[in-house]
Amino acid sequence: MNAVALHRSPWGRARDQLASVLMVVGIMLPTAAFAQALSIINGDVTQKVALSDLRAMSDETFTLYDPYQGRDVEMQGLAFRTFLIEQFGEVPPALHFTAWDDYEVTLEGWDDPSWYLITAEEGDPLTIRTRGPARLVERDYTNDNRDVENLRDFNDWIWMIRSIEARW
């Protein structure tokens, strides 16, 4: 077994590499199939924003301490306030979020430039496994007296966002 393993034929190596690629693609494909777009709901109108478009719009890169990961993380995303104005014409008074993990919440106070919609971390697109495909973070939370050891203080960092509905 060892010899076989040490002296693999080029065909064998190619087969292994193909298998690896297939496995990675296999993992990514179902995820991609589940989460390919972000739904934007405004009254009766539902608009799908493709994740590829969302990633293309992610023009901000910054490093932030992520209390869930316990380390500084380089994040790519877009200013959420600007995104809301583009989608709804103005910042709605409240937003109703639904997430892939069945979480639902309605929150107010989004006319705040410190919130960012993150689509990638460390150069990799967010997946459901990495609490994507889109996630809200507050870029400057140091003034809010949040304790990074108390994750409940970060409940408004909404994960795995599936849809955003304007509540007027």
Partner 1 sequence: MTSKPKPTDQPSMQPRALARQHRYVTWLSLSLMSFLALMVLMVYESRWVYPEIQAYFSQTGNLTGQQLSTRARVFLQDAQAELLGDQAEQDALDAALLDIELAYGLADMHIYRREYACAESSLADLDRLGVQLAARNIDRFAAVSMLFAPIQCLTHIEMDQLDRRGAAINDFSESTRQHSQVLTYSSLLIFVMGLVFWWLHERQLRRADRATQETFEWMQRAMRDPLTGIGNRSALHQDVLAKQHQTLGLILVDIDFFKQYNDACGHPQGDTLLRQLATLIGETLEEAKLYRLGGDEFAALLDCPDVATLKRYCHQLMEGLREADFPHPAHPDKKGVTLSVGGSCFVADEATFPYAYEAADKALYQVKTMGRDGWQVTEDA
Name the residues that contact partner 1, by CB under 8 A.
19, 22-23, 25-27, 29-31, 33-34, 67-71, 100-105, 127-131, 149, 151-152, 155, 159-160
As measured in angstroms, the least distance from the Cβ of 29 to partner 1 is 7
Comparing CB distances to partner 1, the nearer of 90 and 147 is 147
Contact 119, 49 (CB under 8 A): no
The residue among 81 and 146 lying less far from partner 1, judged by its C-beta, is 146
Minimum gap (Å) between residue 117 Cβ and partner 1: 17
Report the alpha-carbon distance of residue 14 to residue 49 in Å, rounded.
38
Given the complex with partner 1, which of 72 and 111 has the nearer CB atom?
A: 72
Give the ranges where the chain is alpha helix by DSSP (H).
2-6, 10-34, 51-57, 80-88
Q: What amino acid is encoded at 93 in this protein? A: P
Dihedral sign (CA 34, 36, 38, 41): negative
Beta carbon of residue 70, minimum distance to partner 1 (angstroms, whole number): 3
